[in-house]
């Protein structure tokens, strides 16, 4: 158990802001909650309480600028900053207000080459259902594919074992599942949780650092995953894999690409691991023919290991 | 509206009876209801009232021997026999008892080269739920993938337009959906219903006559389709396509193969067409990139047009 | 098998048109397709092809004016008119155009005291999905509870056996399920199908003639039934029974009331009966303690037999 | 964030062991994992890794003997023991092996009069899916209603505010939702989470101490909740409320009673609260007419506040 709550925001690079906003707001169905002086656009999912979970920045190369994890409170933030520094990780503070409605952030670089940050404060705007005798969901913010929340990320880069060590030993994440490399020993993909979610973040080996494999959005049900797939088809969103079940994490999934080529996932969670259970292990063959990636098809789709941003 | 009720039985050729029975009884979850002197094995689905819907015959080439449609009653059977003969179709009677618990059958060959038969009588064995204050389903016969019923077939062969004409003009089927060939005019696949099912039978153009594309089994829900896919994966049933939605008929589907290579489908129906509505039309491009076959993926899986038995 | 396709329209009496339109259009999610010179409002469900299925008429007493069944074509309409007259039922023709976009109707009164009519022609306006390479559903017409179609009715009145006889012998309906009265012999509720729907219309014994128990709207899934219940709750629609499963017909259901006190149902169908299967029988005790009305709760909700309009 | 993982076992008193085992093993579908010298029977749900989650003890009065929470490890157990004592709570140790396959337990009495214990060690027997390239679920242990896990409890007794204080200040639970009493200020029901589950335990005001309202079992989907209700009906399990949605926690639910009169719930979770979100508040009226108990029916079922064991 740790003081890291969840991945709270991801800044995505998009090649065309208008197309990006259309995708995340109108097709995926997030709410636009703000734009800043740099032209960045902020969005949230329908059941998120915080001001935003996705930030879009227009530039000429797709990918992820950074992912931020919300921690319990300011003392917890200070504590993690010290622990990171004691572990030998260089950190720096980004001032409150650099992101709209967001407090100070502690930024560091992972061994996999990703910019990760921790923060304790972001304005709670609520989910529209009210605090007293609340509705279960708010029809006014329910449109498009309509995920519950931004849920987790899979990042590609080098030094997976070192990154795993950092997240487990310093940040208190649990290793929930893992894929072993050809040597049958080295972790080449690790799925990490700071809660009882099947994963809050995952890292896979890739020679180039700092790459994004996908950002995942949580759906309420397998029925809603198909409905999301229908909408992708109607809206000409290119689909990569699915609908199917992942063997790894058991999640029910569709992978697709946003207009800039950033992969995203809609998925229904189907497992809640606890830290007293040993991690599940997948062999490299298990990832493909064993159904780790696609449990129904039992095949390793070629794009899975090769297409990142 | 016609006196043909539904496809009531299909005789499948299997290369190994033990493997075939294991597949249809233990994995798919049908009940074995009899074996005859020729060694054929009879099976029914959990919510079927008739004695059997699938008959397995062991031989050295996979495929379908014949499909039988149940008609309302004996006068209807006689009437269709006369209509077929008047239309110029040669028919012959097969004696009652040739198939277990089944009355006389009127057999003919379609222009597509398939053996089709009509019959009016088969012993009702019930669904195990009782006739008075019945249960909604019977746990005692619910195991494996557990489809509701054998639902429809897709057959491949030549002379699709002539076959369409026979089924609509003589047997009273409705053309519900169709796929046009490269000329934009000729029907190369036709989906036909004798009820308000999205299809009771379909025919696709193929040079070789008498081929089976798939036999389809109805599932209660999209959730049950995935559960069926999980079971296929656990049981090493090779999966062809899905889970996904067909654009054509909107069905939610997985295609897979039995141990002899006969394709079968588990599907959830999502459309009830009526005969006063004009048929829906798919272009050849619409079948692939338009999502006719795979609405989410919008691609024409190579096996769809090439693998038959 | 018969030439009657389905219940195609129901004219409901509402006490306040504005409230009625708000209910059926904004909460239930039907589309308003027209208003006529008499002030009647016409609505259709999202997957209906015909111009309308519900007509609202404002007056000072709730209930149903009439239900119309669409038949296959004009010769079928003439044929049924003759059969009804030969059976001793008085009929009269209502001119085309009396209802918007609707052809001539043949009206008669059932022994249960209900106005029933047959018609063959109504303008097809489509479901918004297109006829070529169609979408599976149209987001533009998907809002509110969003039923697929108006599906069936349960009507209360005297002379159930005579009404059953009329519908089966003259109109060709099948008796699918029935509830026996205290004598264990008389049918006091009958469920009738003119297709393979679990019921197209049902009649229950009631001393007063011409009463409406409920109009039912079809939902895609049990998940959509709950979502509909959520919306009813948010919109202060008073709910009568459910969500639960009916033992009779196996339907998954919520009963509720429109602002005028007309009961309506949203339900997911879970049975497709064929005319070669004997009807299922429920005892009076089976309707309550046997789960006929509420399979999970196994009780006879008091409102079921007493509240009608 | 706390070191308490989850409610790990509940010892229930049953009036007839054979009937109790039949209920939990054969109808609910748990696996029997052991019987001890005292005659107690141990059971686990299909996706639980620990040796057992329910212990049945035969005696002449129904109810709950105790509930045990698993903590992260032995140092955490010692730590909580000290914190409880420092807070003024009397604790005592129960020796390892008193419960089969279970380590030392630290027992205390809550202000509400319930026996609660903490423990760190219980033999992991697994879920049958394997640790390497695991299956998503194991057909061999999937039968009956088949819940995923024992999930949470609602306990009735006095001193709710003091019990809340103990669980939040000493054990680190979060107050997720609460129901206010007639004075509009006092918490009369509190829902507490030690994770991101919508609740791990809840307490409601009741004059008599130490009462059990219900033990809840997690289901995979709303479809599985109805299937569970079907099985209850077939097996003559008396149902209290549902299927419906709770407004509080949004859970999709059926309440029913075991043969001894202990209420149990099958439910699908629909909310994952985080500790940085303020608790949701329900007024007493909101619990009933506001949909807190039954969101669709918006009524306070009389049994909810009055029937406990």
Interval C113-126: pLDDT, tens: 999 999 999 999 99
Quick check: D16 pLDDT over 60?
Answer: yes
Q: How confident is the model at residue C191 (pLDDT cuts 50, 70, 90)?
A: very high
Give the residue-averaged pLDDT of D144-149.
98
Q: Which of C9, C23, C114, C246 is catalytic?
A: C246
Average per-residue pLDDT for chain C: 97
pLDDT at D197 over 70: yes
Q: At what angle do helices B222-234 and A222-234 cross, to 10 degrees?
A: 100
Beta strand pairing call for D201-205 and D252-257: unpaired
Q: Which residues pair with D203 in a beta bridge?
A: D155, D190
Residue of C nearest to D240 (CA): C297
Q: What does the pLDDT look like over C121-151, one tens digit per residue?
A: 999 999 999 999 999 999 999 899 999 999 9
CA A4 to chain centre: 14
Q: Do D139 and B221 touch (CB under 8 A)?
A: no
Segment D105-113 mean pLDDT? 98
Which residue, among D300, D216, D232, has the nearest Cα to C294 in the 3D structure? D232
Active site residues of B: 152, 199, 214, 246, 255, 265
Interior/surface letters A122-149, b for 16+ CB within 10 angstroms, e for the rest? beebbbbbeeebbbbbbbebebbbbbbb
Using CB atoms, which chains have 3+ pairs under 8 A with A? B, C, D
d(CA B11, CA B22): 16
Task: Name the residue among A109, A106, A128 with its Cα closest to residue A119.
Answer: A106
Q: Are C142 and C24 in contact (CB under 8 A)?
A: no
| Cβ–Cβ gap A229/B291 under 8 Å | no
Q: Would you call D306 an interface residue with chain A, using a CB distance cutoff of 8 Å?
A: no
Q: Which residue of A has its CA nearest to B238?
A: A297
Cβ distance of D5 and A195 shorter than 8 Å: no
| Whole-Å CA distances, D124 to C22, D101, D139 | 57, 9, 20
Range D129-145 burial, b when 16+ CB lie within 10 A, else e? beeebbbbbbbebebbb
Per-residue pLDDT for chain B (309 aa), expressed as one digit of tens each?
Answer: 579 999 999 999 999 999 999 999 999 999 999 999 999 999 999 999 999 999 999 999 999 999 999 999 999 999 999 999 999 999 999 999 999 999 999 999 999 999 999 999 999 999 999 999 999 999 999 899 999 999 999 999 999 999 999 999 999 999 999 999 999 999 999 999 999 999 999 999 999 999 999 999 999 999 999 999 999 999 999 999 999 999 999 999 999 999 999 999 999 999 999 999 999 999 999 999 999 999 999 999 999 999 999
Nearest-by-Cβ selection for A223 from B222, B254, B295:
B222
Cβ distance D244 to C243 less than 8 Å, yes or no, reads yes
Strand C211-218 to C149-157 pairing: antiparallel
In the structure encoding, which two tokens stand for residue D225, read together?
């909740």
Q: What is the pTM of this model?
A: 0.98
> Residue D94 class from Cβ within 10 Å (0-12 exposed, 13-18 middle, 19+ buried)?
middle
- Residue D2, min C-alpha distance to chain A (Å): 6
**B213 neighbors B264 (Cβ within 8 angstroms):** no
Mean of pLDDT values over C99-110: 98
Q: Please check whether residue D230 touches B, CB under 8 A.
A: yes
Residue with tokens 């089927």: B173
Minimal CA separation from A284 to chain C, in Å: 37
**How close is the nearest chain B Cα to the Cα of D277, in Å?**
32
Q: Which residue has the tokens 């479901």?
A: C127
Give yes or no: C246 in active site: yes
CA–CA min distance B195, chain C (Å): 7
Instruction: Tell me how long chain C is.
Output: 309
Asked whether the beta carbons of residue A245 and residue B222 sit closer than 8 angstroms, the reply is no
Q: pLDDT tens digit string along B72-113? A: 999 999 999 999 999 999 999 999 999 999 999 999 999 999
CATH 3.10.180.10 domain span(s) along chain B: 4-119, 149-306
d(CA D174, CA D164): 9
Q: Considering the candidates C152, C205, C206, C269, report the single residue annotated as catalytic.
A: C152
| ipTM summary value | 0.96
Which distant-in-sequence residues (6+ apart) come within 8 Å of A140 by Cβ? A128
Q: Is the pLDDT of residue C20 over 70?
A: yes
Question: Using one digit for the tens of pLDDT, what is the confidence trace for C49-104?
Answer: 999 999 999 999 999 999 999 999 999 999 999 999 999 999 999 999 999 999 99
Q: Is D137 on the interface with B (CB under 8 A)?
A: yes
Query: Distance of CA A43 to CAs A20, A34, A264, A266, C103, Å?
Result: 11, 7, 15, 16, 52
Q: Calculate how close chain C gets to D225, using CA atoms only, in Å.
A: 10
Tell the CATH topology of B149-306.
2,3-Dihydroxybiphenyl 1,2-Dioxygenase; domain 1 (3.10.180)
Subunit contact B295:A229, Cβ cutoff 8 A: yes
For A220, the 3-state DSSP assignment is coil
Residues of D designated catalytic:
152, 199, 214, 246, 255, 265
CB pairs under 8 A between B and D: 15
Helix (H, G, I), strand (E, B), or coil: what is residue A173? coil
Residue with tokens 């005028």: C260
With CA atoms as reference, the chain C residue closest to D230 would be: C296
Task: Report residue C1's pLDDT band, with 50, 70 and 90 as the boundaries.
Answer: low
**Nearest alpha-carbon partner for C65 in C90, C99, C27:** C99
C26 touches chain D (CB under 8 A): no
Q: What is the 3-state secondary structure (H, E, C) of chain D?
A: CCCEEEEEEEEEEECCHHHHHHHHHHHCCCEEEEECCCCCEEEECCCCCECCCEEEEECCCCEEEEEEEEECCHHHHHHHHHHHHHHCCCEEEECCCCCCCECCEEEEECCCCCEEEEECCECECCCCCCCECCCCCCHHHCCCCCCCEEEEEEEEECCHHHHHHHHHHHCCCEEEEEEECCCCCCEEEEEEECCCCCCCEEEEECCCCCEEEEEEEECCCHHHHHHHHHHHHHCCCCEEEEEEECCHHHCEEEEEECCCCCEEEEEECCCCCCCCCCCEEECHHHHHCCCCCCCCCCCCCHHHHHCCC
The SS3 of residue A97 is coil
Residue pair B214/B265 in contact by the 8 Å Cβ criterion = yes
Q: How far D244 CA sits from the closest chain C CA (Å)?
A: 6
Q: Which two tokens stand for residue D244?
A: 């419906």
Give kind and range of the element (H or E) at residue C58.
strand C54-58
Helix, coil or strand: residue C149: strand
Tell me which of C9, C52, C114, C214 is the catalytic residue: C214
Chain Cα centroid distance, residue D52: 13
Contacting partners of chain B (3+ CB pairs under 8 A): A, C, D
> Has C265 been annotated as catalytic?
yes
CA distance B233 to chain A (A): 5
- Look at the block and give the residue holding tokens 């010298």: D37
Active site residues of A: 152, 199, 214, 246, 255, 265
Q: Give the DSSP letter string of B122-154.
A: B-B---SS-SBS--SS-GGG--TT--SEEEEEE
Structure tokens of D224?
């599985």
Neighbours of chain C (3+ CB pairs under 8 A): A, B, D
For A4-119, give the CATH class.
alpha beta
Instruction: Give percent helix, percent strand, percent coil of chain B, each to the nearest 5.
Output: 20, 35, 45
Q: pLDDT tens track of chain A, all 309 residues?
A: 579 999 999 999 999 999 999 999 999 999 999 999 999 999 999 999 999 999 999 999 999 999 999 999 999 999 999 999 999 999 999 999 999 999 999 999 999 999 999 999 999 999 999 999 999 999 999 899 999 999 999 999 999 999 999 999 999 999 999 999 999 999 999 999 999 999 999 999 999 999 999 999 999 999 999 999 999 999 999 999 999 999 999 999 999 999 999 999 999 999 999 999 999 999 999 999 999 999 999 999 999 999 999
**From residue C155, how far is each of A158, A268, C36, C111, C202 by CA, in Å?**
70, 42, 26, 12, 6
**Residue C306 reports pLDDT greater than 60:** yes
Nearest CA in chain D to B226: D136
Q: What's the DSSP call for residue C107?
A: E
Closest residue in chain D to residue C221, using alpha carbons only: D223
Pick from D243, D245, D291: which is nearest to C244 by CB? D243
Which residues of C fall within a CB distance of 8 Å from A223? 221, 223
Query: Phi and psi for C167 in degrees, rounded to 5?
Result: -70, -35
Q: How far apart are CA D107 and CA A107, in angstroms?
A: 43
Q: Could you tell me what percent of chain C has a pLDDT over 90?
A: 99
Q: Which of C139, C223, C234 sits opposite A223 (nearest CB)?
A: C223
Distance CA A51, CA B137 (A): 48
Task: Let me know if C301 is a catalytic residue.
Answer: no
β-strand pairing of A63-71 with A54-58: unpaired
Q: Which helix (H) or strand (E) holds B165?
A: helix B160-165
Q: How far is CA D282 from CA B213, D177, D286, in A?
A: 57, 8, 5
pLDDT digits (tens, 9 = 90+) for D229-252: 999 999 999 999 999 999 999 999
Helices (H), chain A: 17-21, 74-87, 160-165, 222-234, 284-288, 302-306
């Amino acid at each position: 158990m740790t003081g890291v709550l969840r991945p709270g925001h991801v800044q995505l690079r998009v090649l065309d802001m208008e197309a990006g906003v259309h995708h995340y707001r109108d097709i995926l169905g997030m709410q636009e909650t703000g734009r800043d002086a740099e032209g960045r656009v902020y969005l949230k999912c329908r059941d998120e309480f915080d001001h935003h979970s996705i930030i879009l920045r227009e530039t000429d190369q797709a990918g992820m600028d950074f992912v931020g994890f919300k921690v319990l409170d300011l003392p917890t933030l200070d504590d993690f900053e010290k622990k990171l520094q004691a572990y030998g990780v260089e950190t720096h503070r980004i001032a409150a207000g650099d992101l709209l409605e967001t407090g100070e952030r502690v930024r560091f670089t992972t061994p996999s080459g990703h910019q990760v940050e921790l923060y304790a404060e972001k304005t709670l705007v609520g989910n529209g259902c009210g605090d007293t005798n609340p509705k279960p969901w708010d029809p006014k913010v329910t449109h498009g594919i309509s995920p519950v929340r931004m849920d987790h990320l899979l990042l590609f880069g080098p030094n997976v074992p070192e990154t795993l060590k950092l997240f487990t030993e310093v940040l208190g994440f649990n290793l929930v599942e893992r894929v072993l490399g050809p040597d049958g020993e080295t972790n080449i993909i690790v799925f990490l949780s700071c809660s009882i979610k099947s994963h809050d973040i995952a890292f896979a080996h890739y020679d180039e650092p700092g790459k994004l494999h996908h950002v995942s959005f949580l759906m309420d049900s397998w029925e809603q995953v198909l409905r999301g797939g229908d909408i992708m088809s109607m809206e000409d969103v290119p689909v990569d894999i699915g609908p199917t079940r992942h063997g790894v994490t058991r999640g029910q999934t569709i992978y697709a690409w946003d207009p800039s080529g950033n992969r995203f996932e809609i998925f229904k969670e189907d497992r809640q691991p606890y830290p007293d259970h040993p991690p599940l292990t997948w062999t490299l063959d298990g990832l493909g023919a064993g159904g780790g990636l696609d449990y129904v098809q039992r095949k390793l789709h070629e794009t899975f290991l090769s297409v990142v941003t």
